[in-house]
Amino acid sequence: MTYYLFDSRGFIGDIASIHGLFELREFLSGRDAIFRDFFEKGYTEEIDRVAKALFGIMSDDEAISETLHSLGEILPKCKDLAIISDGCETGEDAERKKEIKKRYTLPKGKRSDPAMRGQRARELYKPRNRNAQDFIHAKLVRIASEMGAEMTRGNHPFDLTIGNNVIDVIILPPDGLVEEENKDVKIR
């Protein structure tokens, strides 16, 4: 599974795999409160501040360095807010999105204000905060240990390697966890 960056206009770009985002979060969260806040909430409206805080940060780990570079390249493309999302959509999600779009439709000629656009985007793209990342990462670690596998990152969002065999893995958090996280999303 890959995590993406969205703003109120939609998709901006790929950030990292589940494991890659977990590593990035662990690497950055101790450096600055702005990063902790970004990963805890799953979004930020302080794009410039996060981008400036990212500037010049390096890692000896090639995978983390690559993810830092990726985030540094796409974050400035976000217009009003940056939302971390897995972008997964079930049939139920598609119906929910139609309802959200209807709710935010304004009469012809009227424009929504920035707060309304931000709230609409957070509802549409379901920011996944630290609880979901930790849940997914813990599941992957457990699966890998049970299988005697090694967690790797290859051409796919996430791989488990057993000997010469590579297994592509996708794990979705349960609906209850996602609903619990999203009830904390508020407009400022």
The identity of residue 29, as a single letter, is S
What per-residue confidence (pLDDT) applies to 170? 63
60: helix, strand or coil: coil
How far is residue 144's CA from residue 140's CA, in Å, rounded to a whole number?
Answer: 6
What pTM was estimated for this model as a whole?
A: 0.72
Nearest to 115 by CA among 81, 140, 92, 84: 81
Residue 187 has pLDDT above 80, yes or no: no
- State how far the alpha carbon of 40 is from the alpha carbons of 84, 142, 155, 167, 171, in Å: 10, 23, 27, 29, 20
What per-residue confidence (pLDDT) applies to 158? 65
* pLDDT grade for 152, boundaries at 50, 70 and 90: low
Contact indicator for 85, 125 with CB cutoff of 8 Å: yes
Domain ranges of the chain: 2-128, 132-178
Who wins on pLDDT, 173 or 54? 54
Per residue in 27-84, pLDDT tens? 998 898 999 999 888 899 999 999 999 988 989 988 889 889 999 999 999 999 999 9
The single-letter DSSP state of residue 76 is G
How many Cβ atoms from other residues are within 10 Å of residue 151's Cβ? 17
38: helix, strand or coil: helix
